[in-house]
């Protein structure tokens, strides 16, 4: 009886989730309407080939992140199809512009229906964000080393070593914990930070964010800027960190300003920096949100057909 009540509650919440998804995407669209107009005004500067290549790279980035999620989720759930899990994961992208992407936790409503506890979804989500931060720090360190101080290379070494020490740190922490709930969370975290999982997750994360950074490189080259691939990727990743530090949802505005400032530092003119930052953000952010919306509708439709 209790399981039936839980399923009824989750099914109702899934409908609310769908409405929230649609409402959130429409709200962000309204907020970014001026940026849309600016991008449309400058689209003549970007060829169809570059635009199409950028969308392919964005899709590659989403694919690598989906594979990372699948790696996490298969540690606890093996019955549902890979396709179903990927749809659940991508549905969270509709909330990718929420603060710290916390709205993506809404995918937990679908995961609970197939037996994945919310604490596992929470731990996987936090681990995802940590891998993202570590990856963009690694990729962003190139700019810091090149333009500021070689001492930043020590930070690079520390960032490389730290993920492989998390499991050991969690082992030590678990010995001192008496609270059962916290201990259960630590045990879930520890399973997600084993060396094999860390190595694979880092590879997927680096590939995902490098693909998005490469979009900036393509757009800059199209606009006549001479820049290396590592520098373009590094600038893109640092701008994401600037956006995250601003605590603005998805860093909207702050990320673009950070990107413009960093591009100015390497000699890119203001107009070109402005155009490239807007186009890059539109190509990386909006396809993700629209894809999330489509996957949310698809999951809801699949559930209705089952009922």
Q: Give domain status of residue 4, yes or no.
A: no
**Torsion, Cα of 283, 57, 45, 140 (10° steps):** 80
Number of domains in the chain: 1
Q: Stretch 207-225: mean pLDDT, rounded?
A: 95
Nearest-10 crossing angle of helices 229-245, 118-147: 120
Output the CA–CA distances (angstroms, integers) from residue 102 to 37, 58, 106, 274, 279, in the order listed: 28, 21, 8, 28, 25
pTM (2 d.p.) = 0.84
CB atoms within 10 A of CB 251: 23
Q: What percent of the chain has pLDDT over 70?
A: 78
What is the end-to-end Cα distance of the chain in Å, rounded?
A: 18
pLDDT for residue 9: 47
Burial 188-201 (b: 16+ CB within 10 A, else e): bbbbbbeeebbeeb
Give me the chain's average pLDDT, please: 82
pLDDT for residue 274: 86
Q: Give domain status of residue 174, yes or no.
A: yes
Q: Give domain status of residue 61, yes or no.
A: yes
Q: Stretch 7-22: mean pLDDT, rounded?
A: 53
- pLDDT surpasses 80 at 268: yes
Q: Give domain status of residue 211, yes or no.
A: yes
How big is the chain, counted in residues?
307
pLDDT class of 157 with cuts at 50, 70, 90: confident
- pLDDT surpasses 50 at 252: yes
**Span of 140-154, 192-206, 227-241, 271-285 with lowest mean pLDDT:** 140-154
pLDDT for residue 29: 55
Q: Give domain status of residue 121, yes or no.
A: yes
Q: Nearest-CA neighbor of 213 among 129, 135, 299, 107?
A: 135
pLDDT class of 254 with cuts at 50, 70, 90: confident
Which tens digit of pLDDT belongs to each residue from 15-63? Answer: 555 555 556 555 555 555 565 565 556 566 788 899 899 999 999 999 9
Q: Give domain status of residue 3, yes or no.
A: no
Percentages (nearest 5) of helix, strand, coil residues in the chain: 85, 0, 15
Q: Stretch 9-15: mean pLDDT, rounded?
A: 51
Range of the domain at 282: 50-81+117-287
Which tens digit of pLDDT belongs to each residue from 90-106? Answer: 988 877 766 556 667 77
Alpha carbons 207 and 216: distance in angstroms, whole number: 15
CB atoms within 10 A of CB 9: 12
Alpha carbons 239 and 73: distance in angstroms, whole number: 30
- pLDDT surpasses 60 at 305: no
- pLDDT surpasses 60 at 279: yes
Q: What is the DSSP letter of 116?
A: -
For the record, the structure tokens of 213 come out as 């950074």
Q: Give domain status of residue 250, yes or no.
A: yes
For the record, the structure tokens of 205 come out as 């994360």
pLDDT for residue 95: 75
Alpha carbons 215 and 17: distance in angstroms, whole number: 31
pLDDT class of 10 with cuts at 50, 70, 90: very low
**Torsion, Cα of 23, 52, 46, 244 (10° steps):** 50
pLDDT for residue 108: 81
Alpha carbons 41 and 36: distance in angstroms, whole number: 9
Q: Stretch 120-131: mean pLDDT, rounded?
A: 92
Q: Give domain status of residue 176, yes or no.
A: yes
């Amino acid at each position: 009886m209790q399981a039936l009540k839980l399923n009824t509650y989750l099914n109702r919440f899934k409908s609310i989730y769908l409405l929230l998804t649609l409402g959130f995407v429409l709200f962000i669209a309204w907020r970014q309407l001026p940026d849309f107009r600016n991008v449309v005004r400058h689209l003549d500067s970007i060829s169809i080939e570059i635009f199409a290549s950028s969308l392919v790279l964005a899709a590659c980035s989403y694919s690598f992140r989906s594979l990372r999620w699948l790696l996490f989720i298969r540690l606890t759930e093996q019955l549902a199809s890979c396709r179903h899990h990927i749809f659940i994961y991508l549905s969270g992208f509709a909330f990718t512009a929420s603060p710290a992407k916390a709205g993506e936790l809404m995918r937990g409503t679908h995961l609970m229906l197939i037996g994945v506890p919310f604490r596992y979804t929470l731990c996987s989500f936090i681990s995802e964000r940590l891998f993202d931060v570590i990856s963009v720090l690694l990729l962003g360190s190139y700019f810091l080393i090149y333009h500021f101080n070689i001492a930043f290379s020590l930070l690079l070494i520390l960032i490389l070593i730290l993920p492989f020490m998390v499991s050991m740190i969690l082992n030590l922490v678990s010995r001192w914990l008496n609270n059962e709930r916290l201990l259960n969370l630590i045990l879930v975290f520890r399973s997600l930070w084993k060396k094999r999982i860390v190595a694979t997750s880092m590879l997927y994360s680096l590939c995902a964010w490098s693909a998005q950074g490469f979009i900036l490189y393509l757009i800059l080259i199209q606009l006549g800027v001479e820049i290396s691939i590592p520098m373009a990727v590094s600038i893109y990743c640092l701008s994401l960190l600037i956006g995250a530090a601003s605590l603005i949802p998805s860093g909207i505005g702050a990320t673009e300003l950070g990107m413009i400032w960093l591009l100015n530092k390497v000699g890119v003119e203001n107009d070109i920096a402005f155009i490239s930052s807007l186009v890059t953000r539109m190509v990386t952010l909006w396809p993700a949100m629209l894809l999330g919306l489509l996957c949310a509708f698809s999951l809801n439709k699949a559930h209705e057909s089952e009922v």
